[in-house]
Amino acid sequence: MSDDNRATKAKPAAVGPPRRRMSRTQRAREDRRQRRRHRHRRVVGGLGIVLVTLTVITGVFLGSKLWHSRGPLLDYTGEGGQQVLIEVHEGDFTTAIAETMYGAGVIANVAKFLDVAQHNSAIAAIQPGFYRLRAQIPSAAAVQQLTDPANRVGKLVIPEGRQLDDTTDMKTNAVTPGVFTLIAEASCLELNGDRHCLNVQDLRRAAAAETPQALSVPEWALGPVTKMGHDHRRIEGLITAGTWNVDPTAPAPVVLSKVIGQSTAELAKSGLPATAEQLGMTPYELLTVASLVQREALPHDFAKVARVIDNRLNEPQRLEFDSTVNYPLDRQEVATTDADRAKVTPWNTYASAGLPATPICSPGTEALRAAEHPEPGDWLYFVTIDQDGTTLFTHNYQQHLNNIEMALDNGVLDSSR
């Protein structure tokens, strides 16, 4: 550094006499001054922290108030908007149903709906299925609409003994709707003024054209179903009797797949595959036997008819059931004609030995149980002899002929046929 720079450099200002030159009294006075100065700094610093904390708390409080003032609505008001479709799934509790409705825009607040719903006992009885509701409605209106049976759509009820196609009674001309017709009717949906239904032709076409896998045909039925080619009746019996849910917005193949899949799951729950194995049969054969039992007898005779089938198959002896002759006919009667019995079809057990190629209807639980547990006996023949449904069983063919005479006398059978 140059001498000029050293000459111009500022010297530190004196701040008081050095501590070593202070008297004892002066040093004590200086220590007290320093302690007061430190205390002042701590108080000011603490007040600053308190003020910052208060500012943050105030901000959070005001922000919370602002968020809640602009947050979710507690409830809608008014009549609502467009109609929407929601699905209640198996096992859904009220909270899950509320969340589904919230997601569909039906209600504004799940908690509000639950509060209203707890005072309505009908909520606990809500079944899985599809429901038509209005969007943006008050929670009380949502509870009312959800519990109104008129708003459930897509409910499919298949009675025991129905076959895929409609049938007509030859004597009365009464038409019994088949499974396809029942599905078409269940699929009808009117939403916001527009009405849509599947039609029987679409269902029949899907049953014939889609692959068995696409239709959710169970593995134990793939062989027989494939063997039937593109005959729509190849899925007969795989849609069992019961109550099912049809998505009214789904196309025919999806609807059939869903119902067949649900039926298969129920058959598995009932133990059909395991029982069939114990009996030395396939599940498909056992299902076919159950369909014959369903069409040939009244429930109190199901187990006896199942035994007749078992005994005849073991003889071996043709089953010769009129129900198998009637199956492919549009017009049916209890007593078939000689000409009908002579026709060779995949189902006619007069013309061919063994079971028909497919089940001949949708059997119910009782018929399935009877097929699985036939009543012990040596019967080979049976005939219904009166209008009350009295059925006589025998092992003796001559006795069977005598029983047929009683049926003829009582008008149950027509001697001209």
Give 370-402 pLDDT, tens digit per residue.
Answer: 999 999 999 999 999 998 889 999 999 999 999
Greatest CA separation for the chain: 150
What's the rounded mean pLDDT across residues 311-333?
A: 91
Position with higher pLDDT, 170 vs 257: 257
Q: Give the Cα separation of 378 and 400 in Å (integer).
A: 13
Q: Point out which residues pair with 332 in neighbouring strands.
A: 169
pLDDT band at 261 (very low <50, low <70, confident <90, very high): very high
Model confidence over 49-99: pLDDT tens digits?
A: 433 333 333 343 334 333 333 346 689 999 999 999 999 999 999 999 999
Do the Cβ atoms of 359 and 161 come closer than 8 Å? no
Assign residue 375 a region (left: φ > 0; alpha: ψ between -120 and 50; beta: otherwise): beta
The yes-or-no verdict on residue 29 having pLDDT over 90 is: no
Do the Cβ atoms of 236 and 263 come closer than 8 Å? no
pTM: 0.80
For the chain, give the mean pLDDT: 86
Q: What is the DSSP letter of 176?
A: E
Do β-strands 152-153 and 129-134 pair in parallel, antiparallel, or remain unpaired? antiparallel
What's the rounded mean pLDDT across residues 252-276?
A: 97
Percentage of residues in the chain having pLDDT higher than 90: 74
What's the rounded mean pLDDT across residues 220-231?
A: 98
Query: Is it true that the peptide bond before 346 is cis, omega within 30 degrees of 0?
Result: no
What length does the chain have? 417
What does the pLDDT read at residue 36?
A: 59
